[in-house]
Structure 1
Amino acid sequence: MTPADATGLPASAEIPPELATRFVDHGAIARNVGRIREITGTSVMAVVKADGFGHGWREVALTALDAGAEWLGVATVDEAIAIRHAGITAPTLCWLADPWTNLAEAVRTGITVSCANRPTLVAVAAAAVETGVRAQVQLEIDTGMSRGGASETEWDDLCLQAASEEAAGHLVVTGIWSHLALAESPDPGVNDGQVAAFRLGVELARLRGLRPALLHLANSAGALEHPETRLDLVRCGASLYGIETVHDRSHGLEPAMRLVSRVTQLRRVAEGTGVSYNHLFVSDRPTTLALVPVGYADGIPRELSRGGEVVIRGRRHPVVGAISMDQFVVDVGDRPVELGDEVVLLGSPTRGEPDAQEWADLTGTIAHEILTGLGGRMARRHRYETGRV
């Protein structure tokens, strides 16, 4: 039984002081890295963009590197520079550079800059001249995503420019990469077109005199399910945090985030009682309602107003009524629930708790969006194998 103080409430030492807390399990992150390495047999890039998918980029980066990841990957130049300012010297790739970003600082601090078009490549070369540091560059080719990367018609021009800048001593092309569009399908051969286009692009780059040391194509889904995409390096974001990205497949990954709040109000209501805005829910029996002090301003999707569940004292209970900006209501029926009881919003399915994928299925999105959308007034605490927080 939870200890209580003089008020009869659970002892404050047992309850996080924050209204909602994201606990990040670094043991799970390390084991996920180990699982990725075991399955792929390749070098791993730990993707820590978007504040480590909401888990805290710095702490995740250090754990992933300690667990055997060799590279870090981020989206923006600013994210990459922050890694260097934190004293982390591991090879780091950023892939959303453009001529207007802080390229000089990126080059000076040894960031590997992805270039998908000639103007960006020329700007990186200029930054190298400005700083007196030879830039490290990787070229991105579009092989079927139709998003980032040089198109088939642009690729030869990009390679020619890269070879010219390399010969001038301004930069070195250390890698070529692309991104998979269909790898979430478990169907064999789903990536064959992109793999073939990638190999043709690499062959052309070599004909133009480039000698990239690293070739990489696989995201998390490709890394875990499609061996033909693994090449020299796999870029893993979702899988690092325990998200299974391949339909109907499990690879032994563990969710790295546990989101908890607490019960701050309880009320007994009669049959026919309307709950929250517009009385989206009306009780069909006498019941007890519990208030949870977190809402859509903190990243709780309003769509969970219908079908969402939380866990209190090891039992699931439904969210009822419209989720508000900073609170929502749970129907606990006649179960024994007290003020201060822990409310598990996200946890481990192995314990019968919702996870980000369950929320994603209920709200019509993906687990990535759920995790990166959490925040607002939520605290974040890091848990390590030693029990240190």
Structure 2
Amino acid sequence: MSRFPARAVVDLAAIRGNVRALAQHAPTAQVMAVVKADAYGHGLLPVATAAVEAGATWLGTAQVSEALALRAAGVTAPRVLTWLYAPGAPLGEAIEADVDVSVAAPWALDEVLRAARATGRTARVHLKVDTGLGRNGVLPDQLPELTAAALRAEAEGAVRVVGVWSHFAFADEPDHPTVRAQEQVFADAVRTVEAAGARLEVRHIANSAATLTRPAVHYDLVRPGLAVYGLSPVPQLGGPTEFGLVPAMTLEAELATVKRVPAGQGVSYGHQYVTDRETTLGVVPLGYADGIPRHASGSGARLGGPVQVGRRTLGVAGRVCMDQFVIDLGPEATQRAGDRVVLFGTGADGGPTAEDWAQAAGTISYEITTRLGVRVPREHVDSVARAGVPACDEAVVR
């Protein structure tokens, strides 16, 4: 494979440390590490393995294909829950692979039943309740009927109702009135299902934000996603360090072109940035095809997404293009083509973070890591960096 001039370096030691930190935040609950979307762009199998090594007893995936990929790769120790599918999904394969399946609608229970009967295996199901998000799940007044149907199927041995779950709409705003309202609706839903005779193994509603800020809703299982990767789901309340987390991904690239230009030089499409003095420009070979947000472009005196060059933090100058963007290195620059620049990392050395890029693009840090394109290789390392201390020794493990 040809060499790509950029890489996303993922520290598996950080992943393990984050999972352990999250377990400390929820000491009465099991931890499900959510590894959907290629582990938020960090690499599904390496991250899943590291999370399990750190004590995660569950893994969560949105798509059935993700759950099946885990099982096919030999990740068999933890329970795996998958929850987002349409009619015709390969539920039989999931049941045969010992994957738990969410049931968010009556038709979904029908599909699970058909798959279970066809395979001759008992399906483990989690009933999904819409407690106020307005997304997947049955409304509370539909829950008794769905529960009754599921328990009839349980009596014949086709399914086993092992869980009830839901999702907050405003968990990243812990004081929002909907949070407490959803807590009550969920508590009522749990009582409804248990009163009908279900013998639940797990009740779960806490995502990353609720895991860190709402101990009352930890129940039997918490489902952190973003926090597993060392990013704060509540940046307005505190960054990763405040919660004992370390960002696991560092996105770095090599300068492709470095050249002197005169004052008045327009930069990139549309000349939204024009040099105000003789200076040096550097081309970073990553663009929106690789997941760099075009909304983080720089315009006029307002520079865009931050980039660390040596010990300086600079910004995108002009528009982000499909494959590249430009930075103004300044009149005294000594950089050459091939020199390393960092788009985001732990921030421990004062450099930019995924949250900084989110702020520059008007989005959230979740999107910054998950949108990284397939051209960008993921390089998995195992460092000794913890608690914001830069690694002094790294070994590439995958």
One-letter amino acid matched to 2:371: G
- 2:321 corresponds in structure 1 to 324
Question: 1:111-150 residue pairs with structure 2 within 5 A?
Answer: 111-150=99-138
Q: Aligned to 1:336, what secondary structure does the other structure show?
A: coil
- 2:278 corresponds in structure 1 to 286
Question: 1:222-371 residue pairs with structure 2 within 5 A?
Answer: 222-246=210-234, 247-249=236-238, 250-306=242-298, 307-333=304-330, 334-371=332-369
- What displacement does 1:190 show? 5.5
Identity %: 43
Q: Aligned to 1:325, what secondary structure does the other structure show?
A: coil
| Equivalent-residue separation in structure 2 for 1:200 and 1:137 (angstroms) | 19
1:215 matched to 2:203: yes
Q: Is the 8 A contact 2:131 2:166 kept in 1?
A: yes
- 2:376 corresponds in structure 1 to 378
Q: Which runs of 5+ in 2 are unaligned?
A: 299-303, 384-393
Q: Is the 8 A contact 1:297 1:376 kept in 2?
A: no
| Equivalent-residue separation in structure 2 for 1:200 and 1:376 (angstroms) | 44
After TM superposition, the structure 1 stretch with the greater mean CA deviation from structure 2, 331-340 or 72-81, is 331-340
| Equivalent-residue separation in structure 1 for 2:24 and 2:189 (angstroms) | 29
| Equivalent-residue separation in structure 1 for 2:359 and 2:80 (angstroms) | 33
- What displacement does 1:380 show? 1.0
| Equivalent-residue separation in structure 1 for 2:207 and 2:174 (angstroms) | 14
- What displacement does 1:188 show? 8.0
Q: 1:75 is matched with which residue: 48, 62, 83?
A: 62
| Equivalent-residue separation in structure 2 for 1:228 and 1:141 (angstroms) | 18
Q: Which runs of 5+ in 1 are unaligned?
A: 1-15
Q: Which runs of 4+ in 1 moved over 4 A?
A: none
Q: Aligned to 2:227, what secondary structure does the other structure show?
A: helix
| Equivalent-residue separation in structure 2 for 1:192 and 1:266 (angstroms) | 55
One-letter amino acid matched to 2:396: R
Alignment TM-score, normalising by the size of structure 1: 0.93
One-letter amino acid matched to 1:74: T
| Equivalent-residue separation in structure 1 for 2:271 and 2:324 (angstroms) | 15
Q: 2:44 is matched with which residue: 49, 57, 68?
A: 57
Q: Is the 8 A contact 2:313 2:352 kept in 1?
A: no
Aligned length: 374
One-letter amino acid matched to 1:92: V
- What displacement does 1:98 show? 3.7
One-letter amino acid matched to 1:136: R
Alignment TM-score, normalising by the size of structure 2: 0.91
- What displacement does 1:18 show? 2.2
Q: Is the 8 A contact 1:97 1:113 kept in 2?
A: no
- 1:164 corresponds in structure 2 to 152
- What displacement does 1:325 show? 0.8
- Is the alpha carbon distance of 1:157 and 1:133 closer, same or farther for their aligned partners in structure 2, counting shifts above 3 Å? same
| Equivalent-residue separation in structure 2 for 1:186 and 1:93 (angstroms) | 26
Cα RMSD (Å) of the superposition?
A: 1.5
- 1:13 corresponds in structure 2 to none
